[in-house]
Amino acid sequence: MKDVTISEVEPFIKTDPPVRLVLRRAKDRETVVDVKGIEIGGREIVVMAGPCAVESEEQLLSIARAVKASGARILRGGAFKPRTSPYSFQGLKEEGLKLLDLARTETGLAVVTEVMDARHLDVVCAHTDILQVGSRNMQNFTLLEEVGKCRKPVLLKRGMSATLDEYLQAAEYLMKGGNDQVILCERGIRTFETSTRNTLDLNAVPMLKRHTHLPVIVDPSHGTGHWWMVPRLASAAIAVGADGLLVEVHCHPESALSDGQQSLTPPDFDRMMKTIRAVAAAVGRQ
């Protein structure tokens, strides 16, 4: 991809002082994040899939086996869950992290899970291959500073009301701390539209790829809130240049403890994987 001139950057990077390290011109090549040999930001489309929340050993292992069989490379699953209501299931916490270890050992999948609080950073780091910083914490600058000191890949989700400028400044916090293994993730933004949970901003993908060297993935599950929309938006994401996907999968979405309405069943996930393989090939990806 060709470098951009400062005049091309200015229309969207408005703040002063501007971001530096995340910009394409700060580096002479794309950032490829290596997660135990899995390259995110290379030619391969990397799919991360699993339940919204880790609920039990049986739940997690059955989903992990299924997504692996369909071609996912990384298992997602929340152990510390940022829930809007304090009365909703908050996650299994450390017990959930141990179940992620079990699933990694059994399937060989790498693991991504969210860290919500700097006080949990050590324990989450000990059990995960990628640290997820969620939408609600994108501007938790003290957390970003602590995560920036870790030498572990980070999946930074876009804040639900964040402009791309604000998003890149959040990524800059991580890189300024010395952590250059940053993956960006578009997960939908708040708009006036209420028929979907969020509005998946696919404009963000080519815009971020144009201005930064960081890999960009898309989460069509939180981006739509409807399981039946997920495969279509997943295809669209690959078509516009995403480097990967983050997708929620559950064997029994109707009884999931969180986000069942946007979770694919394993057969639906398998069909989605076949389709995106064709889309990836059509855009020169693998």
Residue number with CB closer to Mn ion (13 or 92): 92
Structure tokens at 175: 């890189």
Q: Residues in contact with ligand PEP, total (CB under 6 A)?
A: 9
Other C-beta atoms lying within 10 Å of the C-beta of residue 49:
30
Interaction between residue 197 and ligand PEP (CB under 6 A): no
Cis peptide before 17 (omega within 30 of 0): yes
Interaction between residue 52 and ligand PEP (CB under 6 A): yes
Judged by CB under 5 A, the residue of 129, 180, 186, 259 near Mn ion is 259
Residue number with CB closer to ligand PEP (136 or 271): 136
The residue range among 5-13, 84-92, 128-136, 170-178 that interacts with ligand PEP, by the rule CB under 6 A, is 128-136
Task: Report the first-to-last Cα separation within the chain, whole angstroms.
Answer: 18
Residues 86-125 within binding reach of ligand PEP (CB under 6 A): none
Judged by CB under 6 A, the residue of 70, 128, 135, 212 near ligand PEP is 135
Beta bridge partners of 110: 74
Interaction between residue 134 and ligand PEP (CB under 6 A): yes
Q: Which residues have C-beta within 8 Å of that of residue 247, sequence separation ≥ 6?
A: 47, 48, 49, 72, 76, 219, 220, 221, 230, 234, 264, 269, 272
Interaction between residue 220 and ligand PEP (CB under 6 A): no
Judged by CB under 6 A, the residue of 68, 187, 209, 285 near ligand PEP is 187
Helix, strand or coil, per DSSP, at residue 257: coil
Which of ligand PEP, Mn ion, none lies near 82, with the C-beta cut-off 5 to 8 A by kind? ligand PEP
Query: Distance between CA 104 and CA 58 in Å, rounded?
Result: 14
DSSP secondary structure string for all residues of 4-63: --HHHHTTT---SSPP-TTBGGG-SS---EEETTEEETSSSPEEEEE-SB---HHHHHHH
The residue range among 15-23, 117-125, 131-139, 172-180 that interacts with ligand PEP, by the rule CB under 6 A, is 131-139
Q: Which residues bind ligand PEP (CB under 6 A)?
A: 52, 78, 82, 134-136, 157, 187, 222
